[in-house]
Amino acid sequence: MTIDWTTIRQDFPILHQEVHGHPLIYFDNAATSQKPRHVIEALVGYYERDNANVHRGLHELSGRATDAYEESRRKVAQYLGAGEEEIIFTRGTTEGINLVAQSWGRANIKMGDVILVTEMEHHSNLVPWQMLALQTGATLKHVPVTDEGELDLDQLDTLLTEQVKMFAFVHVSNSLGTINPAKELIARAKAVGAVTLLDGAQSAGHMPVNVRDLDCDFYAFSGHKMCAPTGIGALYARGPVLAEMPPWQGGGEMITRVQFESSFYKEGPARFEAGTPDISGAIVLGEAIDYLEALGREHIFQHDSELTAYALERMAEIEGLRIFGPRLNRGSLVAFALEGAHPHDLTTYANSFGLALRGGHHCTQPLMRKLKVPSTTRASFYFYNTREEIDRMIAILQAARTFFAP
């Protein structure tokens, strides 16, 4: 299958504009992706035709909305290789991880237990476990990162002991681009009886993912990083684990019977979807999945990998530019620092030429301290980006080197 990626760009209205008199170059996809016209129209179509609350209505609109909502759950399940009953709609990766920490974690983690994360975690996969450790008296430990930007697996045997009850780690680092060997790490965790959670924020929309093959217990992702709206995502929870988890939030829909003294709860996933959900977001997430599946995630991954390799090759031409992360086996982003330019200043300078980068600590402050930098500048790519845009970025960075020269 040959895909004309230039033609695919026509599906994204937002890309065809000027910023400060220059054609927009959108290289901030790790923060949020843009939305194709098909997805935008699906969102409008829902509100124009089917807007109603789900599950609790007997009228036509409620029935249509419910059918579309549950059909999207089926699409998410198929997308991840899971069962429909194992998919919980959330606001995104952050809420999914918090749900696991406060439901599964509070029921299973106790004083003396260890929660293991890594040094490259996004705050969303660190702060919830810090909170749980404070609540339970457990200990939080982390797998270090090497100077090359990869996990120091030589230390894993020492860290991954029978005291570890949860090993939560990122699939693809949002700051380094590192693709972690998830299947291997999960197998090693299972060997000591640990439950595993995979942060899929940077992998779900960029590569094939099958949770059965990975054998993880939890997988969380955000729709807005894969062509869906903000505020919607999903959590996969392996059936036997999900069945034992207590509810996290209380309210309507997640109950079977309520008395003043006590309540009785539905099975998952309904037990974890209290109140009115983001109905439109969930439905349109299914439309975004259809769009990505039509392209093929293996093709997206190949395109993104080639684009990133080209960016790394071109960026090596710029004197005084330090690139972070591994040279090979990395996701579609490049974080860097330009000598003499603070990342915030460099990002602002790039913006004046229509180039959207991101400067900051990228919600990975412990990792920044390990790298001995306060922050970095990040260029992150998706299938609608081009080599010509990278060439323009290189010209802007070359001009920035002169501009910020001491």
- What are the structure tokens assigned to 167, written together? 């090993």
- Say which CATH topology domain 5-30+296-403 has: Aspartate Aminotransferase, domain 1 (3.90.1150)
Domain 40-294 top-level CATH class: alpha beta
Of residues 82, 160, 201, 363, which has the active-site annotation?
A: 363
Burial track 147-166 (b if 16+ CB lie within 10 A, e otherwise): eebbbebeebeebbeebbbb
Adjacent-strand bridge partners of 62: none
What does the pLDDT look like over 258-295, one tens digit per residue? 899 999 998 989 999 999 999 999 999 999 999 999 99
Q: Are 228 and 218 in contact (CB under 8 A)?
A: no
Q: Residue 2's pLDDT is what?
A: 82
- Phi then psi for 309, rounded to 5 degrees? -60, -40
Q: Give percent above pLDDT 90 in the chain.
A: 94
C-alpha dist (Å) from residue 39 to 205, 336, 384: 15, 32, 15
**Arithmetic mean of pLDDT, 43-64:** 94
Residue with tokens 């998410």: 76
**Arithmetic mean of pLDDT, 226-236:** 98
User: What burial class does residue 193 get, using C-beta atoms within 10 Å of its C-beta: 0-12 exposed, 13-18 middle, 19+ buried?
Assistant: exposed
**Arithmetic mean of pLDDT, 236-253:** 94
DSSP string, 334-348: EEEEETT--HHHHHH
pLDDT level of residue 56 (50, 70, 90 thresholds)? confident
List the domain boundaries for the chain.
Answer: 5-30+296-403, 40-294
What does the pLDDT look like over 21-45, one tens digit per residue? 999 999 999 999 999 999 999 999 9
**Arithmetic mean of pLDDT, 13-23:** 98
Q: Specify the DSSP class assigned to residue 244.
A: T
What does the pLDDT look like over 296-314, one tens digit per residue? 999 999 999 999 999 999 9
Name the pTM for this structure: 0.96
What does the pLDDT look like over 123-170, one tens digit per residue? 999 999 999 999 999 999 999 999 999 999 999 989 999 999 999 999
Q: Looking at the predicted structure, is the pLDDT value of residue 188 above 80? A: yes
Q: Residue 328's pLDDT is what?
A: 86
| 363 in active site | yes
Say whether 151 sits in a helix, a strand or coil: strand
**Arithmetic mean of pLDDT, 240-265:** 92
Average pLDDT, the chain: 96
Q: What contacts 185, CB < 8 A, 6 or more positions away?
A: 151, 156, 167, 169, 196
